[in-house]
Amino acid sequence: MEALVVRTAGDHVHVRLSTGETLPATLRGRFRLEESPFTSPIAVGDHVQVEVENDLAVIQEILPRKNWLVRVDPTLPYKKQILACNIDQAFLLVTVEMPFTPLRYVDGFLVMCEAYGVEAGLVFTKADLALKPRAHQKREYLIHLYQAIGYPVFSVSTLSGEGLPSLKEALQGKRTFLTGLSGVGKSSLINAFIPGLNLATQPLVRLTQRGRHTTTFSALYSLPEGGEVIDSPGFGEFRPPEVEPQELSHYFPEMRACLTECRFNNCLHADEPDCAVRAAVTQGTIAASRYHTYLALLQGLKLLPR
């Protein structure tokens, strides 16, 4: 029988059967014995073949995936972590204050999506928040920057309802992976779209103005109007494992347009002469903020264990 993985929390897995019933699941022993490069061989969004035994679904086979999102595991750098499978799009929730989302985090997410061929967008939450002038200017700058690059960008508030209709329309009929730092309002957003779900929410830690981890597992929820969202824990840095340093610039859309103009085919756009990317930064056609995060990600890739 075919089933869909709808929840993972370590070794605890739940699947939804073709009948609509949700059951706890376990992996066959051979999955545990196989040498695997992944911290877990299965993720939310996986389609699997199961046999039901005493209200327990035993996963016999993981069916071929159309796509996935994978990052380097932060605690085991020689392992990979599958974040989600078989998705149509992925949205990162962003805040410029309470808590602050670093640009390296934003661009790391976008690079990961570009590398795995998943459509990506950004959702700037807490639009109702009264920001200091500098933070307000930064928020507006980032919204216009990423829109100009070509990414879908939404500005929303779950308190006032601002922007929710357009985001809801973008989610309809699609399976969407949602992520972001703890405290950006992910659970509140999903609650706004799925009445009665009542996911737990927590205020920011007063001293650090950072979020508390309210989501400790990944779970898939169906939207009333059609479509699904995958709610994930607040992740740390996104580091795609399959990206080589020479490839990184290909995953910055605004850099792709001028890569053939560099003098050297293997240009890393760091300190090489006659670099078209650096020239575009000087001319202002590539944002300095994006270039700086590119250099930071490049350094991380050079240090990444191979």
| Of the listed ranges 155-164, 179-188, 297-306, the one predicted with least confidence | 297-306
Domain that holds residue 145: 85-231
Q: How many CA atoms lie within 13 A of 282 on its CB side?
A: 7
Mapped onto helix, strand or coil, the DSSP state of residue 5 is: strand
- 107 and 217 fall within a common domain: yes
Q: What is the pLDDT of residues 255-299, one digit of tens each?
A: 999 999 999 999 999 999 999 999 999 999 999 999 999 999 999
CA dist list (Å): 296 to 24, 60, 143, 183, 302: 41, 42, 21, 24, 10
Q: What is the pLDDT of residues 57-71, one digit of tens each?
A: 999 999 999 999 998
- 7 and 89 fall within a common domain: no
| Of the listed ranges 9-18, 32-41, 68-77, 183-192, the one predicted with least confidence | 32-41
3-state helix, strand, coil in the chain (%, to 5): 30, 25, 45
- 145 and 215 fall within a common domain: yes
Q: Which long-range contacts (CB under 8 A, 24 or more apart) does 168-173 make?
A: 168/193, 168/223, 168/225, 170/89, 170/121, 171/223, 171/227, 171/229, 172/223, 172/225, 172/226, 172/227, 173/226, 173/227
Stated pTM of the model: 0.91
Average the pLDDT over 156-174 and give the result: 97
- 7 and 43 fall within a common domain: yes
pLDDT for the residue 30: 67
Which CATH number goes with the domain that contains 11?
2.40.50.140
CA dist list (Å): 168 to 160, 165, 180, 184: 15, 5, 18, 18
Distance CA 73, CA 37 (A): 10
Give residue 199's pLDDT band: very low, low, confident or very high (50, 70, 90): confident
Give residue 304's pLDDT band: very low, low, confident or very high (50, 70, 90): low
Q: What is the pLDDT of residues 232-248, one digit of tens each?
A: 886 667 777 778 999 99
- If you ran DSSP here, which 8-state letter would residue 189 be given? H
Angle between helices 133-149 and 288-303 in degrees, nearest 10: 80
pLDDT for the residue 207: 42
Distance of CA 300 to the CA centre of its chain: 18
Which CATH number goes with the domain that contains 270?
1.10.40.50
Q: What is the pLDDT of residues 89-99, one digit of tens each?
A: 999 999 999 89
Distance of CA 174 to the CA centre of its chain: 15
- 224 and 250 fall within a common domain: no
Q: How many CA atoms lie within 13 A of 298 on its CB side?
A: 19
Number of domains in the chain: 3
- 185 and 122 fall within a common domain: yes
| Of the listed ranges 36-40, 106-110, 207-211, the one predicted with least confidence | 207-211
Q: What is the pLDDT of residues 217-229, one digit of tens each?
A: 899 999 999 999 9
Question: Can you say whether residue 185 is alpha, beta or left, with left for phi > 0 and alpha for psi between -120 and 50 degrees?
Answer: left
Instruction: Count the neighbouring beta carbons within 10 Å of the beta carbon of residue 91.
Output: 27
CB neighbours of 78 closer than 8 A, spacing ≥ 6? 37, 305
